[in-house]
Structure 1
Amino acid sequence: MGAKGDDAKGRAKEAAGSLTGDDDLKNEGKADQAGAEIKEKANQAVDKVKGVFKKD
Protein backbone atom coordinates (compact mmCIF):
# COMPACT_ATOMS: atom_id res chain seq x y z
CA MET A 1 0.00 0.00 0.00
CA GLY A 2 1.30 3.44 -0.85
CA ALA A 3 1.77 6.37 1.46
CA LYS A 4 -1.63 7.84 0.58
CA GLY A 5 -3.35 4.53 1.28
CA ASP A 6 -1.57 4.18 4.61
CA ASP A 7 -2.57 7.72 5.52
CA ALA A 8 -6.22 7.03 4.70
CA LYS A 9 -6.13 3.78 6.67
CA GLY A 10 -4.60 5.63 9.62
CA ARG A 11 -7.22 8.35 9.51
CA ALA A 12 -9.99 5.74 9.46
CA LYS A 13 -8.48 3.90 12.44
CA GLU A 14 -8.04 7.14 14.36
CA ALA A 15 -11.65 8.14 13.68
CA ALA A 16 -12.96 4.71 14.65
CA GLY A 17 -10.92 4.81 17.84
CA SER A 18 -12.28 8.24 18.68
CA LEU A 19 -15.86 7.17 18.07
CA THR A 20 -15.58 3.99 20.11
CA GLY A 21 -13.33 5.37 22.83
CA ASP A 22 -10.61 2.85 21.92
CA ASP A 23 -7.38 4.72 22.65
CA ASP A 24 -5.23 1.85 21.33
CA LEU A 25 -6.96 1.96 17.93
CA LYS A 26 -6.76 5.75 17.88
CA ASN A 27 -3.02 5.64 18.60
CA GLU A 28 -2.50 2.92 16.00
CA GLY A 29 -4.16 5.19 13.45
CA LYS A 30 -1.87 8.05 14.38
CA ALA A 31 1.13 5.75 14.01
CA ASP A 32 -0.07 4.66 10.56
CA GLN A 33 -0.34 8.30 9.53
CA ALA A 34 3.16 9.04 10.79
CA GLY A 35 4.49 6.03 8.89
CA ALA A 36 2.77 7.27 5.74
CA GLU A 37 4.41 10.67 6.15
CA ILE A 38 7.82 9.04 6.50
CA LYS A 39 7.21 6.96 3.36
CA GLU A 40 6.21 10.07 1.43
CA LYS A 41 9.32 11.98 2.54
CA ALA A 42 11.53 9.00 1.62
CA ASN A 43 9.90 8.81 -1.83
CA GLN A 44 10.50 12.53 -2.33
CA ALA A 45 14.17 12.12 -1.40
CA VAL A 46 14.55 9.22 -3.84
CA ASP A 47 12.96 11.30 -6.60
CA LYS A 48 15.39 14.16 -5.90
CA VAL A 49 18.37 11.83 -6.08
CA LYS A 50 17.11 10.32 -9.32
CA GLY A 51 16.70 13.85 -10.71
CA VAL A 52 20.29 14.72 -9.89
CA PHE A 53 21.62 11.68 -11.74
CA LYS A 54 19.36 12.20 -14.76
CA LYS A 55 20.88 15.64 -15.42
CA ASP A 56 24.08 14.05 -16.69
Structure 2
Amino acid sequence: MGFIDKAKNAAEDAVGKAKEVVGDVTGNDDLKAEGKKDQGVSGAKKVGENIKDKLS
Protein backbone atom coordinates (compact mmCIF):
# COMPACT_ATOMS: atom_id res chain seq x y z
CA MET A 1 0.00 0.00 0.00
CA GLY A 2 1.08 3.48 -0.64
CA PHE A 3 1.86 6.28 1.72
CA ILE A 4 -1.45 7.99 0.99
CA ASP A 5 -3.47 4.91 1.96
CA LYS A 6 -1.53 4.57 5.19
CA ALA A 7 -2.09 8.25 5.98
CA LYS A 8 -5.83 7.89 5.31
CA ASN A 9 -6.01 4.93 7.68
CA ALA A 10 -4.09 6.81 10.37
CA ALA A 11 -6.50 9.73 9.98
CA GLU A 12 -9.49 7.37 10.20
CA ASP A 13 -8.06 5.92 13.41
CA ALA A 14 -7.53 9.41 14.87
CA VAL A 15 -11.11 10.43 14.00
CA GLY A 16 -12.36 7.23 15.61
CA LYS A 17 -10.44 7.96 18.80
CA ALA A 18 -11.81 11.50 18.85
CA LYS A 19 -15.38 10.26 18.38
CA GLU A 20 -14.92 7.78 21.19
CA VAL A 21 -13.63 10.46 23.57
CA VAL A 22 -16.39 12.94 22.66
CA GLY A 23 -18.99 10.21 23.03
CA ASP A 24 -17.58 9.28 26.42
CA VAL A 25 -17.46 12.88 27.67
CA THR A 26 -20.97 13.72 26.44
CA GLY A 27 -22.49 10.39 27.44
CA ASN A 28 -23.38 9.61 23.83
CA ASP A 29 -23.00 5.83 23.65
CA ASP A 30 -23.79 5.73 19.92
CA LEU A 31 -20.96 8.14 19.09
CA LYS A 32 -18.62 6.25 21.40
CA ALA A 33 -19.49 2.96 19.66
CA GLU A 34 -19.07 4.55 16.24
CA GLY A 35 -15.60 5.73 17.25
CA LYS A 36 -14.63 2.23 18.37
CA LYS A 37 -15.98 0.81 15.11
CA ASP A 38 -13.94 3.31 13.08
CA GLN A 39 -10.81 2.33 14.99
CA GLY A 40 -11.52 -1.35 14.37
CA VAL A 41 -11.95 -0.81 10.65
CA SER A 42 -8.75 1.20 10.54
CA GLY A 43 -6.90 -1.54 12.44
CA ALA A 44 -8.15 -4.20 10.04
CA LYS A 45 -6.99 -2.13 7.08
CA LYS A 46 -3.58 -1.71 8.71
CA VAL A 47 -3.23 -5.47 9.14
CA GLY A 48 -4.16 -5.96 5.48
CA GLU A 49 -1.58 -3.39 4.43
CA ASN A 50 1.12 -5.08 6.50
CA ILE A 51 0.35 -8.44 4.92
CA LYS A 52 0.45 -6.95 1.42
CA ASP A 53 3.74 -5.21 2.20
CA LYS A 54 5.32 -8.47 3.38
CA LEU A 55 4.11 -10.36 0.30
CA SER A 56 5.45 -7.75 -2.12
Category of TM-score, reference length = shorter chain: 0.7 to 0.9
State the AA in 1 paired with 2:26.
T
What percentage of residue pairs aligned between the two structures are identical? 42
Among 4, 8, 11, the alignment partner of 2:10 is 4
Give the drift of 1:49.
Answer: 0.9
TM-score norm. by structure 2 comes to 0.84
Structure 1 runs (4+) greater than 4 angstroms displaced: none
Work out the number of aligned pairs and report it: 50
What's the C-alpha RMSD, in Å, of the aligned pairs?
Answer: 1.0
Residue identity opposite 2:54 in structure 1: K
Structure 1 residue aligned with 2:32, among 5, 23, 26?
26
User: What TM-score, normalized to structure 1?
Assistant: 0.84
Query: C-alpha separation between the residues in 2 aligned to 1:35 and 1:3?
Result: 9
CA distance in 2, matches of 1:9, 1:35: 12
Residues 22-52 of structure 1, C-alpha deviations (whole Å, 9 max, x = no match): 00000000000000100100000110111xx
State the Cα distance separating 1:3 from its structure 2 match.
Answer: 1.5
Shift of 1:18: 0.5
